[in-house]
Amino acid sequence: MGTVEAANKDANGSLLEKNPSVVFVLGGPGSGKGTQCANIVQNFGYTHLSAGDLLRAEIKSGSENGTMIQNMIKEGKIVPSEVTIKLLQKAMQESGNDKFLIDGFPRNEENRAAFEKVTGIEPAFVLFFDCPEEEMERRLLSRNQGREDDNIETIRKRFKVFLESSLPVINYYDAKGKVRKIDAARPIEEVFETVKAIFGPKNDKVISVLVACSIVSHFVIIV
């Protein structure tokens, strides 16, 4: 255990030396997080890390850790926060960057507390893509990507889980003035114009209006 703990401390120390800027990206399924993250990466030099993608990649790698994750998901168990956080730490360390978009994490208050405790990093802010359930449902049903979870019953369950588990996280950071709420129901180009105002040169008036808006992850993994 000592070796593992030492390795974690080394990873944390290296990350903190870089003084990384972390932005949590939250929003319901179909809110457009992925599209906007790609735009932010292209225009502002961030590294995009998806907790779900990292877990799926670990499973596909065939590693002992990946097998453990896969078995937990098959048994309907929750993947411990520490497992996901270690994957995020590793990806951050290997990227060589100091600016990160962490997409779909934290999914709940326990995730949030564990991330800050393990990494010693508090996010610069939370980018929250607020989109009506009806619009997210329409998008998910029309995208036709062949995902098993893109049926109406499962979609509505995912909405419910997102709202119930994400609300405490959003409220926690909102109380600290760290939530940047985006009206994600608009066309992609219009949404990105608002995003640019947040990531571009500081515009205090725009930011203050966004911050004034208040708000909406038990770790559910869709594999």
**Hey, what domains does the chain have and what are their CATH numbers?**
3-222 (3.40.50.300)
Alpha carbon distance 2, 16 (integer Å): 21
Residues facing 50 on adjacent strands = 103
In sequence order, the β-bridge partners of residue 48 are 101
- Cα angle value 183/46/50 (rounded, 5°): 70
Q: For the chain, which ranges sit under pLDDT 70? A: 1-17, 144-150, 201-223
From the CB of residue 70, how many other CB atoms can be counted at a distance below 10 Å?
18
Known binding-site residues for CMP equal 111
pLDDT value at residue 163: 79
Binding-site sequence positions: 30-35, 56, 77-79, 104-107, 111, 143, 147, 158, 186
Q: What is the CA radius of gyration of the chain?
A: 17
- Residue numbers in the known binding site for a ribonucleoside 5'-phosphate are 56, 77-79, 104-107, 147, 158
Q: Which amino acid is at 162?
A: F
State the binding site for ATP: 30-35, 143, 186
Q: What is the pLDDT of residue 11?
A: 56
Token pair 């995003």 in the structure block, residue: 195
Question: If we measure between CA atoms, which residue out of 8, 14, 37, 19 comes closest to residue 98?
Answer: 19
pLDDT at 4: 40
Print the SS3 string covering 97-137. Answer: CCEEEEECCCCCHHHHHHHHHHHCCCCCEEEEEECCHHHHH
Identify the pLDDT of residue 203: 45
For residue 14, how many other CB atoms are within 10 A of its CB?
12
